[in-house]
Structure 1
Amino acid sequence: MYFKQDDIDKLLDNLRIEEVVGEFIELKKVGSSYRGLCPFHADTNPSFYVNPEKKICKCFVCGSGGNAINFYSKIKNISYMEAIKELSKKYRINIKEYNNTNVNENYEKFYQIMEDSHNFFMEKIFSQDSRGALEYLSNRGLDTSLIKEHQLGYAPPKWSELYELLNNKGYDNEDLLALGLIKKSEEGRIYDAFRNRIIFPIFSPSGRIIAFGGRTLEKDNSVPKYINSPDTPIFKKGKNIYGIERAINIKNKNYSILMEGYMDVLSANIFGFDTSIAPLGTALTEEQAQLIKRYSSNILLSFDMDKAGISATERASFILKSQGFNIRVLQFEGSKDPDEFLKKNGRESFLKVVENSLEIFDFLFKLYSSEYDLKNNVMAKQNFVERFKEFFSNVENELEKEMYLKNLSEKIDINID
């Protein structure tokens, strides 16, 4: 059996997570959340929190949690798909079940391998080997509770520690290779793909582990600073978004904040901006835009303020406009990226940046006009208008296009025709 993502989203939208969790542990209301003893470790001081608004649960000691399906699957010791089936019947939420196939049986196996790997990385983040990782994260503003909350991990420097664990669990080398967890040298030697790296888990919209990002702790400049899982049977880099597991927040608040990297997203969440997401080491794709659009068509672009970041903002705006998004652009002064700005200036200053954000047309006008002499040079004005060609070609709404054209016409004093 398997279920389409839209039906999984429907189930999560309609489940009351406090009701699902409350069947198994006694919960007490604390403010807008609930708290109880964690059922996944020997808990004596209630450390398991349930947040009905965000529809998530979390233990701040052992790190267990997720959405209602994740919780039900783990506490009943059943597969994710079985949890979906049971919960939909239990709470009478009508979703369609599709017949099983070998492909989907393999998918379940792949998800289990990724979950076991994630648990390994999360355990290692607090091991003796991880001092450098903890120092780095501490310097970036993440303490122990935040590391656990965001389920960060650490890949130790040994060549094959993860492989040995997964091999002992009986997983096939071909599956581990397919998931990008291991590599094989020309001589046939097998070794871990992630070594001496901070691990950022990448989730599907329904909260399942599908990939990893790794930030190196090596001082060697020849080692890539960041690496991501390659495309695998359950992960396509150009179709997934970092932070999309919190899509319920985007849906509830009706906007997302698109940032460049993992640390930008984590910093934003620490300061309460929990609709933050990021592409996965690539320029934004049409498929990623379509995924975000499922939850809201309002988006704030919050990329770095360097030349590459401004170029990425321009390219992303064309793709987003082609999908019908309402776009505003955040601009930071005195900081290279949102992460640095938040740490230097805090939440209230970031909110002011949001208030002063530019609608995408105004941002592009400001950007392009800085490159041309529009007062005295006719050719410059013509070239300036040409710069807008790609933007206008991606505006699908005719009324919106007419309004933009009128605005451009008035600003540069050229007849709209």
Structure 2
Amino acid sequence: MAAYYSEEVIQEVVEANDVVEVIADYMTLKRVGSSFKGKCPFHNEKTASFTVSREKQLYHCFGCGVGGNVITFIMEMEKLSFIDALKFLSTRGNVILPEKNNEIEDRQIYEKKQRLYDLHREGANYYFKCLSSSGKALNYLKKRGISTETIKIFGLGYSNENWDSLLTYLKTKGFTMDEMVSSGLVMQSENKRYYDRFRNRLMFPILNPRNQIVGFGGRIMEADDNGPKYLNSPETAIFSKSYELFNLNRSKNHLGNNQLLIVEGYMDVISLYEKGIMNTVASLGTAFTLFHAKILERYASEVIIAFDGDSAGAAATEKAMNILKKSNLNVKILILPQNEDPDSYIQKNGTEDFNMAISKAWTIVEYQLDLLKKSHDLTQTDGRIHFGNQAINILKELETSVEVDYYSKLVANDTGINAATIRREVIRSKNNQEKSIPTVVDFGKTKLMSQKIPKAYEKAQELAIRHCLKSPEMITEFPVDYLTNEFFHHLLTVISEEVRKNGVLDTTHLMNHFEDSEEVQKIVELVMNEEEVSRLDYQDALDIMKRFYKEAQIEELSEQIKKETNNGNEKEVARLTNQLIGIKKMMKENRRH
């Protein structure tokens, strides 16, 4: 379950981190009047259009449109979630984040977690020192083509064969037995004896996106070594395999094409990194989860699944693909030769060939059609027909006619069925699935069927909201029912509550109610817009909104009258007709004025 922090706590973190000082750590800012300007870090530009306001504690780029407060800036620059950015800034500003709404308990939890971070850092240092004196481990890495520099970058280490080496070392650093056991690095036997979890293994520190060591993966180096091939840290207060991804802390800074590769093992990641491919992550010995997909959405727009080329890799690929399909990511699959993995493939063929293979990665639909093809005998007529029918079920999930047209031709090539026939069947299947659901514009109680919102009405809503941001005292008279934009409705509700509680509107406090980056940017754009909205402009906007709202009411009443007429309910028809006449009369009088 995600952590939750109150408005007061979030505001305390924001106030402890001046937006100008934080942004100045990342880029050069020059004072221009009461604001600060610089070249936008989020897009290439020659003329500075990135503006930071100390007074409003906001930033906005008038070139690319990004904007927000100190939290959203750190989210974007450090590629962190809202909660992680809050933690990042709380550390910077020396603010302790509560966990239990109890000051003493919160401090104890905070200190326990800090001790676990410290313990893991000391453990990594110890394993790293052990590696330098282990000929076996160093020879293994050398054979795998891993350089000394890469060993240092990843902080690789070695756990020796002794049962209590780490335990003894951590004792000298002042850690208690309870702390060691809670870290998962030390275990307790049934007869109450303590021993190291990891022994005789190559060690891979696992870091979270904030570059804190939260766990370890240990790999055996020879087939006859005891235990499973990979052994990971258990779940602890600072580590969960369902959330963490190996190397995400580094790869998030190497997304020039906004693309991430997902591989199966630590050595795949490190071997690819050694060859210059740095945008790679691996799940931690567990199945790929929905949480992993959501985390990846924060950093990339496209992911490429690059699992092993054996049957187990194919099964893992299908599972990960089905999860990633539900995300907003563009998903592709790298097809490797049988019994090859990314590590072995790049070692044999080099970086250029590997990048070429990435450029030819299949789409999900191509991969699904290929799997389907393998389960049918396309030399037989019934095999081709059955394949064609099942392929239509795959293609009906496509969103655009261009995609349908392209893949219909692929299926036609494999089956000999006319591409136009396949396309027609896909469209018919889509139509049956969707059942022509009408578009509904929702005003709350009033709904407008099958009509798009005119641009003039959208602009009117935005202008009215901008006026309320500059003149929050107008909130009490704002006709909320006129709004069709769900975000504006939420924003107006929050503004109203802020004004009711505090008497004034604090825009920095307002931002704390929104975690979605697009919503935050929209608020910043509204607040930073210096174009004046007069009372007359505001009234004109309300008139436009009112007219559209009344038209929606007329359409809804007309539909209700038809329905009640068919039902023979004359009394209800009369009542609804009177309402309809009243609204039309009001609109006519308004037009005259």
- TM-score normalised by structure 1 residue count: 0.72
In 1, distance between residues paired with 2:252 and 2:199? 33
Question: Which residue in the other structure is 1:270 paired with?
Answer: 274
404-413 or 336-345: bigger deviation: 404-413
Is residue 121 from structure 1 mapped to residue 127 from structure 2 by the alignment? yes
Verify: 1:182 aligned to 2:186, yes or no.
yes
**Change in CA separation of 1:125 and 1:219 when aligned onto 2, cut-off 3 Å:** same
Unmatched tracts of structure 1, length 5 or more: 20-67, 70-80, 90-95
In the TM superposition, residue 170 of structure 1 has moved relative to its aligned partner by: 2.7
Shift of 1:351: 1.4
Who is 2:207 aligned against?
203
Corresponding residue number in structure 1 for 2:118: 112
Q: Does 2:399 correspond to 1:399?
A: yes
1:106-126 CA-partner distances (Å, limit 9, x unpaired): 211111111111111111110
The answer as to 2:195 corresponding to 1:153 is no
Q: Find the residue that maps to 2:132 and give its secondary structure.
A: coil
The 5 Å alignment of 1:8-87 reads 14=23, 16=25, 84=89, 87=92
Which amino acid in the other structure matches residue 303 of structure 1? F
Q: What residue is the counterpart of 2:170 in the other structure?
A: 166
For 1:190-219, what per-residue CA distance to the aligned partner results, in whole angstroms no more than 9, with x for missing partners? 110000110001000111000100012355
* CA–CA separation in structure 2 for the residues paired with 1:205 and 1:385: 45
Distance verdict in 2 for CA 1:386–1:173, change over 3 Å = farther
Alpha-carbon distance, 1:404 to partner: 5.5
In the TM superposition, what is the alpha-carbon distance from 1:147 to its structure 2 partner? 1.1
Equivalent-residue separation in structure 2 for 1:197 and 1:341 (angstroms): 24
Deviation at 1:87, TM superposition (A): 4.8
Q: Would you say the 8 A contact 2:268–2:341 is kept in 1?
A: yes
SS in 2 for 1:238: coil
Number of residue pairs matched by the alignment: 343
Superposed CA deviations along residues 291-328 of structure 1, whole A, max 9, x for unmatched, are 11110120111111111111211111111110121112
Question: Which of 362, 376, 380 is the equivalent residue of 2:366?
Answer: 362
Aligned mate of 1:191, from 186, 192, 195: 195
284, 287, 307: which one pairs with 1:283? 287
Q: Distance in 1 between matches of 2:205 and 2:389?
A: 43
User: Hey, what's the Cα distance between the residues in 1 that align with 2:246 and 2:324?
Assistant: 17
Query: What is the aligned partner in structure 2 of residue 304 from structure 1?
Result: 308
Tell me the distance in 1 between the aligned counterparts of 2:340 and 2:232: 23
**Residue 69 of structure 2 corresponds to which residue in structure 1?**
none
Kept in 1, the 8 Å contact 2:158–2:201? The answer is yes
Matches of 2:167 and 2:385, distance apart in 1? 60
Shift of 1:168: 2.8
1:3–1:169 CA distance, 2 compared to 1 (3 A): farther
Q: Secondary structure at the match of 2:224?
A: coil
Structure with a larger share of its residues in helix: 2
Q: Deviations over 1:195-254 (max 9, x none)?
A: 011000100011100010001235536521110001111111111100111143255431
Q: Give, in angstroms, the shift of residue 372 of structure 1.
A: 0.8
Q: Which moved more, 1:329-338 or 1:115-124?
A: 329-338
Q: 1:349 aligns with which of 346, 353, 373?
A: 353
* Aligned with 1:259 (options 263, 284, 291): 263
Pick closer, same or farther for the CA change 1:289–1:277 going to 2, 3 Å. Answer: same
Which residue matches 2:227? 223
Local SS of the residue matching 1:212: strand
Q: Distance in 1 between matches of 2:389 and 2:204?
A: 42
Kindly state the Cα deviation for residue 347 of structure 1 after the two structures are TM-superposed. Answer: 1.0
Does the 8 Å contact 2:90/2:97 carry over to 1? no
Cα shift at 1:14: 5.0
Distance 1:215 1:311 in 2: 23
CA distance in 1 between counterparts of 2:233 and 2:92 reads 31
CA distance, structure 2, for counterparts of residue 185 and residue 377 of structure 1: 64
Q: What letter corresponds to residue 109 of structure 1 in structure 2?
A: R
Q: Residue type of the partner of 1:103?
A: I
- Whether contact under 8 Å (2:186, 2:194) holds in the other structure is yes
1:157-182: per-residue Cα shift (whole Å, max 9, x none)?
11101001112333222222222101
CA distance 1:155–1:387, shift in 2 (3 Å): farther
- Separation in 2 of the partners of 1:241 and 1:218? 25
The verdict on how the C-alpha distance between 1:337 and 1:83 changes in structure 2, with shifts beyond 3 A counting, is closer
- Of the structure 1 ranges 105-114 and 169-178, higher mean CA displacement relative to structure 2 is found in 169-178
Alignment gaps of 5+ in structure 2? 29-76, 79-85, 430-593
State the distance in 1 between where 2:127 and 2:204 align. Answer: 10
**Residues 285/334 of structure 1: CA separation in 2 closer, same or farther (3 Å cut):** closer
User: Aligned in 2, Cα 1:282/1:148: closer, same or farther, shift over 3 Å?
Assistant: same
Paired-residue identity, %:
30
**Code of the aligned partner of 1:399:** E
Q: Distance in 1 between matches of 2:217 and 2:185?
A: 11
Classify the secondary structure of the residue corresponding to 1:198.
strand
- What is the RMSD of the two structures over their aligned residues, measured on CA atoms? 3.6
